[in-house]
Amino acid sequence: MKTLLNVIWLVLAGFWLALAYLVAAIILAITIIGLPFAKQALKLGVYAFWPFGRALVQSPTRMKGLSVVGNVLWFVLAGWWLALGHLITGVLLCLTIIGIPLGIGDIKMAGAALVPFGRQIVRVSELNVGVASSSTIVFPD
């Protein structure tokens, strides 16, 4: 089932969203200072390309202060327009009945596009029961 959802997602929104993240990564990587942001863009781009069966969770090794600074800079440099892309595609997906679950997932991904630092992507099967919190974005199997 997750493969079918991923293929539908890829055709309707995933390819274009991943392409937007790739463009953001290239633009951010032009300078040495932008390399950590380019890495986050690539991480989210892979997640946006094939999300079902994976989850975005808070990293246990994150440094809170550094994550906050990174997220503020990310928001200014790339996060707001990537999140806007998720919101637009999410609303468009919700216009069709079959696209409603995909649109809801896309709108959830907009939050991840705003603040990616301090998060990691894991397979849903690797999540421990009870670890998922309100900040966890899960695309089920």
Please report how the helices 100-114 and 2-9 are oriented relative to each other, as an axis angle in degrees rounded to 10. Answer: 70
Q: Is 18 left (phi over 0), alpha (psi -120 to 50) or beta?
A: alpha
Tokens of 40: 């986050």
* Residues present in the chain in total: 141
What pLDDT score was predicted for residue 18? 94
What does 61-90 look like in DSSP terms, one character per residue?
T--HHHHHHHHHHHIIIIIHHHHHHHHHHH
In degrees to the nearest 10, what's the CA dihedral of 69, 42, 53, 96?
Answer: 100
What pLDDT score was predicted for residue 38? 93
Helices (H), 30-63: 35-49
AA identity, residue 114? L
Query: What span, in angstroms and rounded, lies between the C-alpha atoms of 125 and 16?
Result: 27
Query: What span, in angstroms and rounded, lies between the C-alpha atoms of 35 and 12?
Result: 29
Tens of pLDDT along the chain (141 residues) come to 788 888 999 999 999 999 999 999 999 999 888 898 999 999 999 999 988 888 888 888 878 888 899 889 989 988 999 999 999 999 999 998 888 989 998 998 998 899 888 888 888 888 765 555 555 566 555
